[in-house]
């Protein structure tokens, strides 16, 4: 086939009626991967003909989501709203060729007739009454495309295999509404054909539209693209992923401190596999992606797995890069990065146990606080009169100790503890609580070295 030798052209065609959804992002990703793998073109088309529900804010937010995920497009964004005259010209063409007609039936009239069909055991659909009606009536009308009375339309789906549809089951599709606006199924065919899209990869919620679109391609003299319909993403209860299952917008995952590479890896693995491999760099995904390995049943969105992947990507980033990435999270909560604290070292100590940038920023806050707030329950449990006495003595010991490196501090404090016939554990937890306000932190000597002498002494004095 001619398409085989063509450079592939793929597209992502979101409707800007909401933010970029996790499912939409996966659709964009699979199109992008195939385009990149085959040195093809990836087009971004905004399907904004629904003027009531489309907003510029959503257009910007969808593009921001794609930019964050680094799903770059080669053409676009093209807006359907700029192409209304084009769609009109094709409506005229179909009318002139007798392939479409004006339908003057009201919704109520159609409803009554459909109910009668149902009552007589027929499948209810528009009965084609206006195919033979006077086309010059001065009444509101929509325009319908004449469906085929018989035969089958087969969708040769790249993922699902061949799927057959009986033409007789299809209504005469509305291609232009009573208000004069063209419909989705019509615009999408004209755009995909004129933009020379070779592969249409989208959610399988569109599978039923595809035979209608194929018939429109044929009627307008276009060659249909190849189609691939991706199974839906499911929530943990195996129902279609929705807000009930938690955040569904891509940018919400950015806010929660996920890394774009982790989310890309995660999305790729929902419904696509390559043996048992779980971790894929972008380059590997581009190399290994194939439609054959996309599953035919819905993939589950597993938040725990996303956290696991994110932790993996996070700990493999270098400390300076992480510092740049985590800073906005700290600043959002009113913290200022001060040169007194070597943040890259602080990050190094916490990145292994942080699964998200948000968790990492939480783990860093104690370094930046002016003073530590200690929960009364922790105070009662750990800062006993005896512990306070020990901390006071420790504070004196290290006040005169000039080398505040981890090894030197450890040697100094070990010596003092042994001298008193104590064990590190007698001092470590009260010390940790006094310095961080928490019982969980990096190693005590490491964190003291990062916190610095001045802050350590100040915090010890504050409790003793």
Q: How far is CA 442 from CA 153, 325, 359, 445, in A?
A: 64, 20, 14, 9
Structure tokens at 107: 């919704």
Binding mask 6-35 for ligand GLU (x = CB under 6 A): -------xxx--------------------
Beta strand pairing call for 199-203 and 174-176:
unpaired
Count Cβ atoms within 10 A of the Cβ of residue 318 and give its class: 0-12 exposed, 13-18 middle, 19 or more buried: exposed
Which of 206, 353 has the CB closer to ligand GLU?
206
Which of 172, 204 has the CB closer to ligand GLU?
204
Structure tokens at 192: 């995909």
CB atoms closer than 10 angstroms to residue 112: 11
Contact status: 193 vs ligand GLU (CB under 6 A): no
User: Residue from 102, 202, 226, 245 that binds ligand GLU (CB under 6 A)?
Assistant: 202
How far, in Å, CA of 224 to CA of 210, rounded? 10
DSSP state of 241: P
Which of 15, 273 has the CB closer to ligand GLU?
15
Contact 432, 444 (CB under 8 A): yes
Binding mask 35-54 for ligand GLU (x = CB under 6 A): ------------x-------
Closest approach, Cβ 456 to ligand GLU, in A, equals 56
Binding mask 370-399 for ligand GLU (x = CB under 6 A): ------------------------------
3-state secondary structure of 401: coil
Nearest to 328 by CA among 68, 32, 13: 68
Closest approach, Cβ 206 to ligand GLU, in A, equals 5
User: Residue from 206, 305, 348, 401 that binds ligand GLU (CB under 6 A)?
Assistant: 206
Which of 14, 298 has the CB closer to ligand GLU?
14
Count of chain residues binding ligand GLU (CB under 6 A): 7
Closest approach, Cβ 262 to ligand GLU, in A, equals 25
Which of 210, 310 has the CB closer to ligand GLU?
210
Name 272's bridge partners: 294
Q: In what order do the strands lie in the sheet with 41-46?
A: 75-79, 41-46, 9-12, 199-203, 226-230, 152-157, 161-166
Active-site amino acid positions? 243
Structure tokens at 228: 């691939």
3-state secondary structure of 220: coil
Closest approach, Cβ 167 to ligand GLU, in A, equals 21
Which of 14, 40 has the CB closer to ligand GLU?
14
Closest approach, Cβ 190 to ligand GLU, in A, equals 12
Asked, as a colleague might, if the bond just before 77 is cis with ω within 30 of 0, I would say yes
Binding site for ligand GLU (CB under 6 A): 13-15, 47, 188, 202, 206
């Amino acid at each position: 086939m001619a398409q085989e030798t063509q450079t592939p052209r793929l597209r992502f065609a979101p409707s800007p009626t909401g933010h970029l959804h996790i499912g939409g992002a996966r659709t964009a990703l699979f199109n992008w991967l195939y385009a990149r793998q085959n040195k093809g073109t990836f087009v971004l088309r905004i399907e904004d003909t629904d003027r009531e529900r489309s907003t510029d804010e959503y257009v910007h937010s969808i593009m921001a989501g794609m930019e964050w995920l680094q799903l770059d497009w080669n053409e676009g964004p093209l807006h359907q709203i700029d192409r209304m005259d084009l769609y009109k010209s094709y409506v005229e063409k179909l009318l002139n060729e007798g392939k479409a007609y004006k339908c003057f039936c009201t919704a109520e009239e159609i409803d009554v007739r459909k109910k009668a069909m149902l009552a007589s055991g027929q499948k209810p659909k528009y009965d084609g009454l206006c195919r033979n009606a006077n086309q010059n009536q001065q009444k509101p009308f929509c325009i319908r495309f004449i469906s085929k009375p018989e035969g089958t339309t087969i969708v040769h789906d790249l993922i699902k295999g061949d799927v057959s549809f009986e033409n007789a089951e299809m209504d005469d599709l509305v291609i232009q509404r009573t208000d004069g606006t063209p419909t989705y199924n019509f615009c999408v065919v004209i755009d995909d054909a004129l933009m020379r899209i070779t592969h249409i990869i989208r959610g399988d919620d569109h599978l039923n539209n595809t035979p209608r679109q194929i018939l429109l391609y044929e009627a307008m003299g276009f060659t249909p693209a190849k189609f691939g319909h991706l199974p839906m993403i499911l929530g943990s209860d195996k129902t279609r992923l929705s807000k009930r299952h938690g955040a569904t917008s891509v940018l919400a995952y950015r806010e929660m401190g996920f890394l774009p590479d982790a989310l890309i890896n995660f999305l790729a693995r929902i419904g696509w596999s390559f043996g048992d491999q779980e971790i894929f760099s972008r380059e590997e995904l581009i190399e290994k992606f194939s439609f054959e390995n996309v599953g035919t049943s819905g993939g589950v969105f597993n938040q725990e797995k996303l956290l696991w992947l994110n932790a993996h990507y996070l700990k493999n980033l270098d400390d300076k890069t992480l510092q740049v990435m985590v800073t906005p999270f700290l600043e959002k909560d009113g913290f200022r990065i001060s040169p007194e604290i070597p943040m890259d070292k602080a990050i190094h100590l916490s990145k292994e146990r942080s699964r998200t940038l948000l968790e990492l920023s939480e783990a860093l806050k104690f370094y930046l606080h002016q003073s530590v707030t200690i929960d009364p329950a922790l105070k009662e449990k750990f800062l006993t009169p005896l512990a306070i006495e020990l901390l006071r003595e420790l504070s004196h010991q290290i006040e005169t100790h000039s080398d505040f490196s981890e090894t030197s501090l450890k040697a100094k404090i070990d010596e003092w503890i042994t001298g008193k016939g104590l064990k590190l554990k007698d001092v470590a937890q009260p010390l940790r609580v006094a310095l961080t306000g928490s019982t969980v932190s990096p190693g005590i000597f490491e964190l003291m070295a990062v916190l610095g002498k001045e802050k350590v002494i100040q915090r010890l004095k504050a409790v003793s």
